[in-house]
Amino acid sequence: MHLETYYEYCLSKKGVTEHFPFDKDTLVFKVGGKMFALSSLNQWEKGEPSVNLKCNPDYAQELRALYDDIQPAFHMSKVHWNTIAINNDVSDKLVKELIDDSYELVFKSLTKNTQNEILELEK
């Protein structure tokens, strides 16, 4: 997966905004003001891309057991977040599914008003 593919895929989701809240390197995608995907731009440039995504705790454990390139997220809740190494043993299709899952988990955690505002913006 190329950085542009990751970037465009995340931004294609309803109500998504991009931010650099921590530093000039860590690109964060949010929905409703809450993070669902983070990635180091420097790591992409070095050819070692990875992304942190929110995940259901049981599914997170299952993924970690199945894939060497899915690990507990660095500097985040290891119960709810995974780090996925891109372009290794995790297919682009699965990465997109995990982005979808992360987005949905965060979107569903938003208040109904915020969810409705996001859905209305996209009409």
The model's pTM: 0.94
Question: 79 with 105: CB under 8 angstroms?
Answer: no
DSSP 71: E
Domain 3-121 is in which class?
Answer: alpha beta
Q: Is the confidence at residue 121, as pLDDT, over 90?
A: no
Q: How far is CA 42 from the centre of its chain?
A: 17
DSSP 122: T
Distance CA 80, CA 102 (A): 10
Tell me if residue 31 falls in helix, strand or coil: strand
Q: Is the confidence at residue 2, as pLDDT, over 80?
A: yes
